[in-house]
Amino acid sequence: MSTTILTGQNFEATVTAGGIVLVDFWAAWCGPCRQFAPVFDAASTQHPDIVFGKVDTEAEQALAGAARITSIPTLMAFRDGVLVFSQPGALPAAALEEVIAGVRALDMDAVRAELAQQQRAPQTT
**Active site annotation includes 33:** yes
Q: Are 14 and 44 in contact (CB under 8 A)?
A: no
Inter-axis angle of helices 31-46 and 93-105, to 10 degrees?
A: 50
The residue from 20, 30, 64, 103 that is catalytic is 30
Q: What is the CATH T-level fold of the domain 4-120, as seen in this structure?
A: Glutaredoxin (3.40.30)
Spell out the domain ranges in the chain. 4-120
Q: Is the pLDDT of residue 1 over 60?
A: no
Phi and psi dihedrals of 10, rounded to 5? -120, 0
Phi and psi dihedrals of 109, rounded to 5? -65, -40
Q: Is the pLDDT of residue 125 over 70?
A: no
Q: Is the pLDDT of residue 123 over 70?
A: no
Q: What is the pLDDT of residue 13?
A: 95
In this prediction, residue 124 has a pLDDT band, given cuts at 50, 70 and 90, of low
The residue from 6, 33, 37, 90 that is catalytic is 33
